[in-house]
Amino acid sequence: RIAYVNGRFSRHDQAVVHIEDRGYQLADAVYEVWSLFDGKLADPEGHFARLERSLGELQIAMPMSRAALTMVLKETVRRNRIREGLVYLQVGRGVAPRDHAFPHPGTPPSIVVTVKAIDRAATEAKAAKGVSVITTPENRWGRCDIKTVGLLPNAMAKQAAKERGAAEAWFVDEMGLVTEGSSSNAWIIDADGTVRTRATNANILRGVTRYSLLDILREQGMKVDERPFTPDEARAAKEAFITGAGTLVMPVVAVDGQPVGDGTVGPVAMKLRSLYIERARATAI
Ligand code: PMP
């Protein structure tokens, strides 16, 4: 495997960043993950727009143009000879002597790109069975709309899910409402067929898969309500699912060990999964 680190391609097992990199010291870095279909980046526009927004909120300059960055991403993919997988990009404030305040604005940003293969057949088999989620109290900072590498609460939530045999953890806020998953957005389909997901504010990530799916839902003429839901409402719903570049659209069949609806994979979630994949493959670059 090959990684791109600050202007160079190197062997993945030998790729390193400096100990004074602010991404390492202070989680002062943001990231994006693209799903890769047949060697092409899915939802390119949405991920670049969000990257620019995350960087802007942190006053980190875009390290190079979108076109140049696309070339770096695609060259890293090419060198890895991976067709189906995930592309990871991290952009940080760079290397500077440790100090909480930002270094000189001229400090070059750090850029890392890695690519990993995913087994589409295994993911499809997983989708056909559906996954379980657990719930956990929301304990993240107030700017979850910025996609930073400060993921410790997310990592702890995912580990708790894993220990309980679940695939994802849903954070639940003080009002008892689900915010989102540790690495995905959360959705339900109500008894009347309305598709529900929380509106985006500073509390959740603006999932690129979420926005693409909202477009698809509108095209399909389906009812959408951007309103949060409780874990009880999820269990009482007809269907539930999660979205993200890694899972695409993944049916959820249980919440905290209790079935969602009749506990089987819902036809609507599976239909949305195939519509999303079809669209992502068609628009990938
Ligand atoms: N929420 C969180 C906290 C995430 O980490 C992710 C995955 N990056 C998502 C939602 C889904 O976002 P996307 O559809 O852009 O992958």
Mind listing the pLDDT tens digit for each residue in 17-49?
999 999 999 999 999 999 999 999 999 999 999
Q: Both ends of the chain: CA-CA distance in Å? A: 22
Residue from 40, 126, 129, 147 carrying the catalytic annotation: 147
The domains of the chain are located at 2-118, 123-283
Pocket test for ligand 1, best of 86, 141, 148, 185 (most atoms within 8 A of CB): 185
To the query of whether residue 40 is one of the catalytic residues in this protein, the response is no
CATH of 123-283, picked from 3.20.10.10, 3.80.10.10, 3.30.70.100, 3.10.20.30, is 3.20.10.10
Using the mean position of ligand 1's atoms as its centre, give its distance from the Cα of residue 180 in Å. 9
Bridge partner list, 225: 196
Q: Are strands 29-37 and 85-92 parallel, antiparallel or unpaired?
A: antiparallel
- Taking phi over 0 as left and psi of -120 to 50 as alpha, with beta for the rest, 79 belongs to alpha
The domain defined by 2-118 folds into: D-amino Acid Aminotransferase; Chain A, domain 1 (3.30.470)
Residue with tokens 């390193």: 16
Where does the pLDDT of residue 137 fall: very low under 50, low under 70, confident under 90, or very high at 90 and above? very high
Would the ipTM clear 0.95, i.e. be above it?
yes
Mind listing the pLDDT tens digit for each residue in 147-190?
999 999 999 999 999 999 999 999 999 999 999 999 999 999 99
Ligand 1 binding pocket includes 46 (Cβ within 6 Å)? no
Using the mean position of ligand 1's atoms as its centre, give its distance from the Cα of residue 242 in Å. 10
Share of the chain above pLDDT 90, in %: 100
Q: pTM of the prediction? A: 0.98
| DSSP assignment letter at 176 | S
Ligand 1 binding pocket includes 247 (Cβ within 6 Å)? no
Specify the ligand 1 atom closest to the Cα of 245: 16
Ligand 1 binding pocket includes 207 (Cβ within 6 Å)? yes
